[in-house]
Amino acid sequence: MTRMLIIGPPGSGKGTQAERISERLGVVAISTGDIFRANVKGETPLGIEAKKYMDAGDFVPDSVTNKMVRDRLSEDDVENGFLLDGYPRTTAQVEYLDEILAKTEEKLDVVLQLTADDEELVARLLGRAKETGRSDDNETVIRHRLDLYHEQTEAVVAKYAERGILTRVDGIGAIDEVTDRVLLAIEAAKAV
């Protein structure tokens, strides 16, 4: 059983690598971004609220995000492990996730951080915006999201580094090369 999360700045390939890790390790990938976008598309109350923040490049408030993650982690398909993508993003969310896992006497096995240069990320995200027409990907919003990542999420990375479960992997390169690096890093982390 593997319980892990993948962290990295917007555009670092978290979603792509999460899918590949999920397939290889046989664990369910849980992306808060996908859940938010599905709610926005379905115009649910959560989606309407989340869209305001997403379009501005801001994080959806912890109160909304925490409840969604708690509910998702109570589903049966996480019994054999999970891979969280996009959560936790703040130290308050780290503490909330700790509480969720403590209730079932579980903890995270590994935290994988994909790293990449900001300018490379801006170029990637602008290219993706042209391909997909995502309203939340223009240069101003992208740079704001990167600033938020550096301001808030890096504190999360530091917490997991202190616990000794953080593994950093270079997210730049061909998708298969990054996947190979990721899988080797996960195996090395689990062997410790």
Known binder of ligand: residue 192?
no
Of the residues 3, 14, 20, 72, only one is catalytic, namely: 14
Phi and psi at 184, nearest 5°, equal -65, -40
CATH assignment of 2-186, among 3.40.50.300, 1.10.10.10, 3.40.1160.10, 3.90.226.10 = 3.40.50.300
User: How far, in Å, CA of 6 to CA of 27, rounded?
Assistant: 13
Domain ranges of the chain: 2-186
| Single pTM value for the model | 0.83
Instruction: Respond yes or no: is residue 128 known to be catalytic.
Output: yes
Instruction: Respond yes or no: is residue 14 known to be catalytic.
Output: yes
Instruction: Respond yes or no: is residue 181 known to be catalytic.
Output: no
- pLDDT tens-place string over residues 105-157: 999 999 999 999 999 999 999 988 888 877 667 899 899 989 988 888 889 99
Closest listed residue to residue 30, CA positions, set 60, 92, 79, 73: 73
User: How far, in Å, CA of 149 to CA of 129, rounded?
Assistant: 19
Of the residues 134, 143, 159, 181, only one is catalytic, namely: 134
Known binder of ligand: residue 13?
yes
Query: How close are the terminal C-alpha atoms of the chain, in Å?
Result: 15
- pLDDT tens-place string over residues 145-176: 899 888 888 899 999 999 999 999 999 899 99
pLDDT of amino acid 69: 84
Percent of residues, the chain, with pLDDT higher than 90: 51
- pLDDT tens-place string over residues 47-91: 888 888 888 878 788 887 887 788 788 889 998 899 999 889 889
C-beta separation of 13 from 171 below 8 A: yes
Known binder of ligand: residue 181?
no
Percent of residues, the chain, with pLDDT higher than 70: 97
CB burial class (10 A; 0-12, 13-18, 19+) of residue 92?
middle
